[in-house]
Amino acid sequence: MMARLKSRLMLALRSLLHRRQVESEMEDEIRFHLEARTADLIAAGKSPREAARRARVEFGATESHKDGMRAALGVRWADNVLADLRYAARLLRKSPGFTAIAVSSLALAIGANTAIFSVANEMLYARLAIPRARELHMLYSVGKRPTVIHGSWGSNFNEDGFQYLDAVAYPFYRQLVENSHSGLEIFAFKPLDRLNVTANGQAQAAQGQLVSGNYYSVLEIKPTLGRPILPSDDAVPERGTVAVISYGFWQHAFGGAADVIGRSINVSGRLLTIIGVNAPEFTGAESAQRSPDLFIPITMVREFAPEFDKDLLTSTRLAWVNLGVRLPVGASKSIAEAALTNTFQASVRSGLKQKDGESIPTIVLEDGSRGLANLRTNRELGKPLHTLLGLSGLVLLLACANIANLMLARASGRQREMAVRLALGASRQRVLRQVLTESLLLSSLGGVIGLFVGYLGRNALPRLMESSFDGYSTNIPFNWEIFGFAAGVTLFTGILFGVLPAWRATREDPNRGLKETAQSATRRRSAWSSKLTVSLQIALSTLLVASSALFLRTLINLNRVQTGIQADNLLLFDISAPPARYPGVSAQALFEQMEQRIAAAPGVTSVTLQTPSFVSNSHWSGDFDVEGVAPVTVDKNDPDRYPAMMMVGRHFFNTAGIRIIRGRGFGPQDTATSASVAVINESLAHKFFANSDPIGRRFKDKEDEKHLKHFRTIVGICADTLYGSVREPAEPIHFDLYVDVKEFRGATFMVRSTRPPDALTEDLRKIVRTIDVDIPLTAIRTQRQQIDANLQQERLFATLTSGFGLLALLLAMVGIYGIMAYMVTQRTNEIGIRLALGAQRNTVRSMVLREAMLLCVLGVVVGLGTVLAAVKVVKSMLYGLEARDPASLIATAVILLTVALVAAWIPATRASRVEPMVALRHE
Amino acid sequence: MSRQVDLLQGTLELLILKSVSLGPLHGYGVLLRIIQISGEQLVIQQGSLYPALYRLEASGALATQWAPSENNRRAKFYTLTAIGQKQLDQETERWRQMSRIMGAILKLTTAPDALAEEAQ
DSSP states of A508-524:
S-HHHHHH--TT-SS-S
How many residues are present in chain A? 923
DSSP A127: P
Nearest chain B residue to A5, by CA? B59
Contact assignment for B74 to A74 by CB distance below 8 Å: no
Contact assignment for A29 to B55 by CB distance below 8 Å: no
* pLDDT, mean of residues A112-123: 88
Instruction: Examine the pLDDT at B6 and tell me if it is beyond 50.
Output: no
Residues A197/A198/A199/A200 CA torsion (nearest 10 deg): 160
Which of A11-25, A228-242, A386-400, B105-119 has the weakest average pLDDT? B105-119
Chain segment A791-842, per-residue pLDDT in tens: 888 888 898 899 999 989 988 888 888 888 888 887 888 888 888 888 888 8
Contact assignment for B48 to A62 by CB distance below 8 Å: no
Grouping H, G, I as helix, E, B as strand and the rest as coil, residue A883 is: coil
Q: Could you tell me if the ipTM is greater than 0.85?
A: no
Which of A41-50, A439-448, A576-585, A654-663 has the weakest average pLDDT? A576-585
How many residues are present in chain B? 120
Q: How far apart are CA A470 and CA A460, in angstroms?
A: 16
Helix or strand (DSSP H, E) at A136: strand A136-144
Name residues whose C-beta falls within 8 Å of residue A174's C-beta, 6 or more positions apart in sequence. none
Q: Are A809 and A545 in contact (CB under 8 A)?
A: yes
Contact assignment for B51 to A72 by CB distance below 8 Å: yes
Task: Report the amino acid identity of residue A27.
Answer: E
Any B CB within 8 A of A32 CB: yes
Q: How far apart are CA A632 and CA A641, in angstroms?
A: 8
**A744 — pLDDT class (breaks 50, 70, 90):** confident
C-alpha distances out from residue A135 to A169, A229, A231, A326, A341, Å:
24, 22, 22, 5, 20
* pLDDT, mean of residues A427-440: 84
Which of A68-72, A104-108, A183-187, A653-657 has the weakest average pLDDT? A68-72
Please state, for a pLDDT cut of 90, what percent of chain A lies above it. 38
pTM for the full predicted model:
0.77
Q: How far apart are CA A594 and CA A210, in angstroms?
A: 30
Mutate to test the interface with A, among B50, B77, B80 (most CBs of A within 10 A): B50
Chain segment A761-786, per-residue pLDDT in tens: 999 999 999 999 888 888 889 999 89
Which pLDDT value is given to residue A520?
46
Name residues whose C-beta falls within 8 Å of residue A260's C-beta, 6 or more positions apart in sequence. A225, A245, A250, A254, A274, A277
Any A CB within 8 A of B28 CB: yes
Which pLDDT value is given to residue B2?
32
Residues from chain B that touch A23, judged by Cβ atoms under 8 A, are none
* pLDDT, mean of residues A4-8: 74
**A370 — pLDDT class (breaks 50, 70, 90):** very high
Chain segment A188-203, per-residue pLDDT in tens: 999 987 788 887 777 8
Residues from chain B that touch A30, judged by Cβ atoms under 8 A, are 47, 50
Q: Distance from first CA to last CA of chain B, Å, rounded?
A: 29
Any A CB within 8 A of B83 CB: yes
Helix or strand (DSSP H, E) at A19: helix A19-43
Task: Report the amino acid identity of residue B3.
Answer: R
Q: Are A452 and A111 in contact (CB under 8 A)?
A: yes
Which pLDDT value is given to residue B3?
33
**B71 — pLDDT class (breaks 50, 70, 90):** confident
Any A CB within 8 A of B2 CB: no
Q: Are A501 and A407 in contact (CB under 8 A)?
A: yes
Helix or strand (DSSP H, E) at A69: helix A62-73
Residues from chain B that touch A76, judged by Cβ atoms under 8 A, are none
Chain segment A310-339, per-residue pLDDT in tens: 788 998 988 999 999 999 888 899 999 999
Q: Are A314 and A351 in contact (CB under 8 A)?
A: no
Number of neighbouring beta carbons within 10 Å of residue A194: 21
Using the CB atoms, write b or e for A778-813: b if 16+ within 10 Å: bbbbbbebbbbbbbeebbbbbebbbbbbebbbbbbb
Q: Are A453 and A108 in contact (CB under 8 A)?
A: yes
Which pLDDT value is given to residue B7?
42
Q: Please tell me whether the peptide bond between A223 and the residue prior to it is cis, using omega within 30 degrees of 0.
A: no
Q: DSSP for A199-254? A: ETTEEEEEEEEEE-TTHHHHHT---SEE----GGGSSSTTT--EEEE-HHHHHHHH
Nearest to A65 among B31, B50, B58 (CB): B50
Which of residues A515 and A584 earns the better pLDDT score?
Answer: A584
Instruction: Examine the pLDDT at A642 and tell me if it is beyond 80.
Output: no
Chain A, chain B: beta-carbon pairs less than 8 Å apart = 80
Q: Are A909 and A845 in contact (CB under 8 A)?
A: yes
Helix or strand (DSSP H, E) at A435: helix A428-465
Chain segment A138-181, per-residue pLDDT in tens: 999 999 888 888 878 888 778 888 888 999 999 999 999 988 77
Which pLDDT value is given to residue A432?
83
Nearest chain B residue to A35, by CA? B28
Strand A202-211 and strand A167-168: the pairing is unpaired
- Range picked from A76-80, A134-138, A464-468 for highest mean pLDDT: A134-138
